[in-house]
Amino acid sequence: MSENTSKIAFVTGGARGIGARCAKDLKGQGYQVVIGDINADQIRNFQEETGIPGVVIDVASYDSVQAAQQLLIEKYGDVDILVNNAGITRDGFMHKMDPVSQWQTVIDVNLGGVFNTSRVFAPAMREKGFGRIINISSMNGQRGQFGQSNYAAAKAGILGFTRSIAQELAGKGVTANAVCPGFVETEMTQAMPAEILQQEQAKIPVGRLGLPEDISNAVVFLASTASGFVNGATLSVNGGQYMAA
């Protein structure tokens, strides 16, 4: 029996896209997986498709995260592996960006959500002496992106947050790392104009867009005991499109 069967993995934004792939692949490695998503219908459909249960959660709300934690404890136990994948976009030029519906909303979900879940789930990991926090950032958080000052700021903030908590938690057996996807074939990128995607693909040295499994492969490694000496790292999974120093 795999040692992973005793570990519970919680994937936010897990009903579709990269999060869904991570949830499926973690289950394939023997983990007991639960997803969190704001959309109850998508959770239900995902569970029917995969057998992976889920809880409704609004990561931007600390109270909602606490409520989800209590439900998880009652049904499954304490979370061992936290994959912070939930995120949104509200693109626009900075000089036209609405301070609330575009700027603050993206910051609250994409960055505030990572704080909320980490703050709620990390104490139990510390008590057990084991935990993995894996934060999904973005290539655009490393390099910036035209029309995405809100998204890039939030995703860059995740990197600083990850490095900080990696130092705070490591002494208790809990590691924190970030994964920075490049352009990946998901519902989010499919909504982009085809010519933009073609332009971006032309910039990728490996000659293709990423696939959700490219990201989940990194997440599965960082969730494993084999990654125990990897801490505070930023793992770029972008086909070489952006190579950070």
Strand (E) positions, 18-130?
Answer: 32-37, 54-56, 81-84
- Active-site pick, 31, 62, 76, 151: 151
Residues in the chain: 245
Q: What is the DSSP letter of 224?
A: S
- Distant-in-sequence, close-in-space partners of 106: CB < 8 Å, separation ≥ 6: 88, 89, 90, 150, 151, 154
Residue keyed to tokens 């600083």: 160
CA count, 13 A, side-chain hemisphere, 111: 19
Locate 236 and state its tokens: 């770029």
Q: How are strands ordered across the β-sheet holding 234-237?
A: 54-56, 32-37, 8-12, 81-84, 131-136, 174-181, 234-237
Q: Are strands 81-84 and 32-37 parallel, antiparallel or unpaired?
A: unpaired
Please indicate whether residue 31 is annotated as part of the active site: no
Residues with a catalytic annotation lie at 151
